[in-house]
Every structure is written in structure tokens, then in C-alpha cells.
Structure 1
Amino acid sequence: MRPERILIVSLDNLGDLIFASALVPPIKKRFPNTVVTVWCKAYTAELGPLLPGVDNVVASDPFWDRAPGHRKGALGPFTRVALSLRKERFDVALLAAAPWRTAAAVAALGIPMRIGLLRPRNQRFLTHPLPAEDRTRPVLEEASRLLQPLGIEAATLRYRLDATRLVRRREDLAERLGNTPLVALHAFASKRNRCVNPAAWIMVAETLEARGYKPMWVGSSAELTELRQIVGTRSSWLYADSTLGGSLIDVAAALSLARLFVGHDSGPMHIASALGVPTVGIFAPGEPSRTFPQGVGSFRVLFRESPHGVTPEAILVEVDALFSSPLVQANPAHWAK
């Protein structure tokens, strides 16, 4: 089998798209002439040019789901995009995540080979349903099973973003931001009950600044506005929404310049890891054995059952350990508890 066109479907959030992108390099290695298209949410599509091996990116927001900080997608625009994809006559669709509505939408495209992991009510829409995801295992280890029906036995997958495509933005930002080493901080999680107290983050930022780093806070405009109200005036601290303009591609460029990333399990954490930035991921609690940083950068993981158990001292211990004892693969025995 030599498919001419493959559709990677990732109608989920930012981190999910980065995980899904790891499927493309082994596909291109096996089928170098295959055209690979990624179908994703609109807000994540900005990263499309950074996804290695991806030829086309098509964006639409599913009408049954909402992106963070956005409304649900609308039926009309979603249907128009789906109809345009149907005309492409893809040979294969790989569903990075296959909830039944996504699987049904892909089935409506008329793609003859549709591969996905089993979920409730999705089997009828897949031609190659695979055993359900084991949520105790790393995301990319489970995702690699999607390649097996194509005859691809991938080695350990790692996600990566291509920073060479950010050269002009990096140069511009480097000139504006100066020579002080950047530390990127992301104090927000997808759920508020997983967020570490802002006071702890402020102490971490102050300590790292005293060590010679320039703190750069990343997050949505609403999150960063809230943070500024708590922090007060700190002229030496940078905020992604005001310093960078808030675009996702500019945030990626700034993250690629950072010497260190510290933040919650989130899309920005996975962007940093995909760009090779040394990363401390905070899980409070989350699923560290499943969604730890799986990019090309070194990392450490700080795990607690509750954000109340995460202290500035514990975060800084992991920062120090990142440079003395970095992790390059999953080992839950090493998660700091």
C-alpha cells in the first residue's frame, strides 16, 4: 500500500495537535511522496508551518466543541470545510483522537481507510478500530499504534517543532528582548483547581530573576491581565500578550529563545518541549505518566495530588535538577512527589 494522500485529524486542543504531529515524520519516511494534510482547530493552525513533514493545514472548529477562550464552532463553516476535504479524496485518515462525533465527521468524507483508537460509539465510523487507549501509558506510545495498519513500526516517537521556520521572528524578538536569558513561566492550567497559587509563582519568578533570568509570562490575555493585577508593576517582567502581541506563532518564537520553561501541563509546555527548551512540567495532579513532555528537549516533572502541595521551593528544586539530572524519557519513579 502506498497512499497518495493522508489526513491527520486533530480536532482537539493545542497540546493534542503537537502530540499528533509526531505521527508525520515516520509516515514521510515510509512514504516520502505522500501528501500529508492536518485538520485541526482554528486557534491551533498558526503552528502549522512549524509541523515537520506537514504539507497542508486545514482549520475548522467542530460545532460540538469549543476551543479554550472561544465559542463553539458553527455547523455551517464546519460543513463547508468538510465538503472541501471530501473533494480531496484522501486514501487514509488517522484520527489522533476519535470521539464518535469526530469519527462520524471523518466517515462522511468518504475516506476508505479510517484508523482510530476505540471510544464509546465510534467503532461504526472506523474501518480500522484499534484497542482503546491505555491511559496509564505515554500518549505517543499509544499514538504509535495508529501507524501499524500502514505497515509502519515506529521507534519511540518524539514531537518536534521546526524552529528554523521562525528565524525572522526570532531575530526580531532577540533584538527587542535583549541578551538577558529568558525563563518562560506559565502559571495556568486548563482547570482552575489545578493551578498553583500565584504567590508561589511570584516567588519562583523573583528567585529566577535574582539568578540572572528575565521572567516572561505566557498565557491568554485574560490570564495575564489577572496576573498583572496580582503582581503589580514589575517593569523588568515580560508578558506575552503585551510584549509579543499575543499571536501563537510569536509566542512559539519567544519560547524557542528561552533557556528554561516552567509551567503547568498545558499547550505552552508542549510547545516548549517540542522546540527543545529544557522544561519543568507541573502536574497538580494531572496525568504525568501519560502527558509528560514528550518532545526533543530535556525535562523534569513535579507531581502533586493537589496544587496546594506545590511550593516555590519544590519548583526550584526541579529547576536545579533539570540541569544536573535531566530526564529524556518517561520514568514515573523519578516524578517528584
Structure 2
Amino acid sequence: MDPTRIARAPKVSQACIPCKARKRRCDGGTPKCTNCVALGAECSYAAVRRTRGPGKKKSKLENTDDRNTTQYLLTSDNGNLIPDRKDNTTISTKPSSKRRSDDVDFAHKPTQLQSTDSMELPQTQVTFFERLPIFPDCLLPGTFNEHLESFKRSVAEATAARNFTPLIPHQISRRLIENSFAEIMAEHQLLDISNFVMLLDAQYAASCANPADDPARWAIVNAVIALALRFKTAPGSEAALSDITHSFYQNAIRVLPELILQDSSLLSIQALLAMAMFARRISDIQAFIMLATNASRQLELLGRFSMDRVIDMREIEQYEQAYKTANVFDETISEVLRPEAALHER
């Protein structure tokens, strides 16, 4: 043996239990180590031999962090799939080779986030709730023209038979009102959108084909829908949709005798003023004057009989809005009739 070399004890992978307890260096001998033989003690080793193994390299640490991040992304956000930020792909924890129209499945592909000696990601089940369609069937590009022509035919048949035109589907009218009500009431704030939506829902709940024993509600619903269609019609398309718009206005006109002959009410006054707003939009001056003057007359009569009953604050606000609109219409009528009066004086 070369004397320059320093004798080094062989490296022991595991010490026996007595040496561990005494904190002595163990040579790992079997069946007994040197220390246990010298002391005459029983030598035993732990059943599970845990080895330290090779140290973790930097690349493996990065892969481990990436896997932990991916696992967190897949199991977070209430079970929704989240795009992988490295390769802009969407990872699904449940592989599927078939794509369905009502569910979204993506093939699970191994990426650089995975390594051969790593644990597999947990099989987390991801579910999707079926979303409501953005557009109803009648507004889809492939069927819109067909449904439009069908509705035009029903309007023509109802007009020829002097019947009421059925209302458009409820979800369409709701969306139409929500998107146009501010424009309709920009000049004359006749009523609030919350009050009108309650009337709209009540009319659809009762009937979408007739007044259902409430002509005032039927009249104001049809008049405002006609105004909404008028405001939201694209420039140049007025002629193509004029029959539909005018049919809802005619629905309101058909109950005009009931509005005039029955006892005055706030709702009937609002209906007359809404019809007058539409008549003014289409430049029907005679109808505008007739509707506005009847609304003013009913407001005057209602003011006389409302002194004996209690009115809540919400109804008072609606009365004020109706009075303001009626006064503006009276001034407009005076301006329209003033030139005619001057001609008669000559």
C-alpha cells in the first residue's frame, strides 16, 4: 500500500439502529457491525433502507416548479380550462379524441412541462355548464330571412282580417327595449324603463296576441315596441320593415275607443302620449294632435277626481312626467296650428 495515500473508511449507506442511538460511526457490517461485535450487542437495521440518491439539478427544479404551476392552473378558477402560457395551448386534464358541439374537449398532449421521472398530473374532472345561446333561433343568419318573411305574411294576414298582430318573441322585445329605451325617452321622459319592463312582462304573461282585458297596457306596450323598431331600424331599411313597425302601432290604435271612452287612468294617459310620440315620428300630424289633446283632456279630468285619494311618491313622479310631456305636446300643437290660424285671419 502506498504510504502517501490516506486510508479512508468506506462510505456507509446506512448505520444500524444501536450505532444511531449511541451516535457512533457504523461500518454497516452484516450480520453485525464492528461496534456491536465488540460490545456484544444485538445489531439490527431499519426495514426500509432510504438512500439519499443523487442531488436535484437546476433543470429538474425548474420542471418541478412548472409542473406545480400547471397543476394549480388546472385545478383553479372553479374548474375552468386555462390556456397554457408557454405554448398558447389549452390543456385538459381529461383527454378526449372526439369533439362535441355542446362540450369542449381538447387532446392532452405531452409538453415540455412534463418529464419522464415526474409524477402524473391528477385526473381532475372539468365540467362546463351549457351556455344560453347569444341569439335566438329566429335571429341566426341562416334562418333570419325565412322568419322575417314568415312574420311579414302573418302581419299581412292580420291586417287584412283587421285582427291584432301578435307580438314578437319576448326575449327579442326585452333586448330591443333595453337597447333603445334611452333613445326613445331622450326627448320626452314619459316613464322609466323599470316601470315599462313590468308592463311588458305582464302583457306577455297575459297574452301576446290580444289586450287580455287591459287595453291601456296593450296600447303602451305596442306603441313603445313600434318606437323601438323605428329607432333601431338601419338607415335605408325603413321601407323593408315599415309594415312590421306600423302593425304594432295599429295594435295600439285598435284599442283607442276603449282608451277614450273608459274612465281616465294614468296608464291610459301614458299610452295616449306614447302613441302621440310615434305619430309625431312618422309625421302624422292629425293623429298626433288627436292623441295629444285626448291625453291632456284625460289628465285634466283625472286631476279633478284624484284629490280625494292618496297617491304614493312613485305614482306622483309618473304624473309629473306625464304632465311635462303633455305640456310640450300642447306647445307643439300651438306652433303647428298658428300658421293655419293666420291664414284664416287673412
TM over 0.5: no
Return the structure number with greater relative CO, CA threshold 8 A, min gap 6. 1
The structure that is strand-richer by fraction is: 1
TM-score, normalised via structure 2 length: 0.19
TM-score, normalised via structure 1 length: 0.20
The structure that is helix-richer by fraction is: 2
